[in-house]
Structure 1
């Protein structure tokens, strides 16, 4: 048998390629290590999934950050969020909208969907503030000032969680406010103040924080405030039940709780 030896250059090229293969295989791990994100392998029997999550409007910014973090650590999973007022999300669920998980801004809305969801878990809490134009030109100090007929105050509609919370604290202090409009979600209230279409509005603390340089937030003392609770649950109609369950569970993980905390949400 005659053995044909590769020319020295060819042999070197083969050796170089052989050495590069294991290095390339380690490349992603190194990048994950440098970024501080550890890729989580799929559970045995689990498959990658495209998840649709219905989420309260007040979660818009923080969930975009959380979703990106989740996708980085769960390769193959993609998350699409649909943000709206909790009452609108509930209507979508009842109408059979295709989705995998639901996160509302109150337990009342979630409790009304018991036949459609798995067991909900509170993932965060929030509090209310009074949003004013930057610099608070009307010198609004507290809830009583919102009763001034010279002020244009905007609130969320009564069926919206933040509207219900707001009315609850106003009623507790026997303060009557006549809003110039009632909006379908908290972001619509915030927008009215940002655009100068209203002098003040009651929003969540985390929403006011998304508009630095555009609105000021007047704190409401805890004794006169309301605590908003955010429950998350899978939907029974989900076609990706395992992946949906994993995402909902992740929302209570240290990684997700840090993201929520950095955005101003509080732990349950």
Structure 2
């Protein structure tokens, strides 16, 4: 089931795997814009939503966050939505192959993996090889953060097995901040969002294994003009600065 989390001026739905779809009922706005977005975009897109609503009277933004793979598959199956934003091209291609992207997807941000640990880095982790012998976690192989992790681990011949494979990057981060894991591989933007709750260890070579985020309007959109306005906001100069401030880099 979807879990509704109310934040100022924004209604956020968090997807649990593939089981949920955005609620089609409006809770006050005359118009509604539904954005399906990778979980790593939670903080920055929530900020965009507040700005968007302030500039569009009577519009309610509904943000549905989850694994890019799950979101793209849901969109391909016709789930309600106006805009899709994924954490890699592979996920966006699922929507393209199903002909549910109304325009060519635009690259709008990049991200790289870092190691996060408990504050103080009690296990003394400084490289991927140091994960051996610790309780560490990463994303599952079939989601963007997992694909990047596998690429980095293979490139550095690291064979340490993770304690668990998580559905998305937020779940991975939660394992570390809750104390269930000594370390996790997450995006730099998620480490930025976590603040003092984690220590961050840069990964040698991570800048060569960036993931690129893509955004596109969906054919099932009920308001293509609003969808275009959202994409314009994300790709604007102010939008790019917000992404950089949140720990992303630009393509």
Pair in the same fold by TM > 0.5: yes
Asked if the contact 2:114/2:206 (under 8 Å) is kept, the reply is no
Question: 87, 91, 94: which is aligned to 1:112?
Answer: 94
Q: Distance in 2 between matches of 1:244 and 1:213?
A: 35
CA contact (8 A) 1:51 1:78 kept: yes
3-state SS of 2:193 partner: coil
Matches of 1:224 and 1:141 in 2, distance apart? Answer: 16
TM-score, L = length of structure 1: 0.78
Aligned to 1:131: 116
After superposition, give the CA deviation of every residue in 1:233-268 in whole Å (9 maximum; x if it has no partner).
000111111211221122110121121111111112
- What is the SS of the residue equivalent to 1:249? helix
| Structure 1 segments unaligned to the other structure (5+ residues) | 1-47
Which residue of the other structure, out of 80, 84, 90, is the alignment partner of 1:98?
80
Tell me what 1:219 maps to.
202
Which residue of structure 1 aligns with residue 107 of structure 2? 122
Query: Is the contact between residue 49 and residue 243 of structure 1 (CA under 8 Å) also seen in structure 2?
Result: no
Cα shift at 1:224: 6.4
Say yes or no: does 1:144 pair with 2:126. Answer: no
* Alignment pair present for 1:170 and 2:136: no
Q: 2:34 aligns with which of 45, 52, 55?
A: 52
The equivalent residue for 1:76 is 58
Corresponding pairs, count = 219
Distance change (3 Å), C-alpha of 1:180 and 1:238:
same
Contact 2:76 2:94 in 1 (8 A): no
The CA distance in 2 between the partners of 1:224 and 1:151, in whole Å, is 24
Larger Rg: 1
Counterpart of 1:62 in structure 2 is 44
The structure where strand makes up a greater share of residues is 2
CA RMSD of aligned residues (A): 1.4
Q: CA deviation at 1:91?
A: 2.1
CA distance in 1, matches of 2:199, 2:208: 18
Name the residue aligned to 2:193.
Answer: 210
- The CA distance in 1 between the partners of 2:207 and 2:79, in whole Å, is 38
Separation of aligned partners in 2, 1:199 and 1:225: 25
Question: For residue 155 of structure 1, what is the aligned residue in structure 2?
Answer: 138
Q: How does 1:20-31 map to 2 (within 5 A)?
A: none
- Alpha-carbon distance between aligned partners in 1 of 2:182 and 2:54, rounded to the nearest angstrom: 41
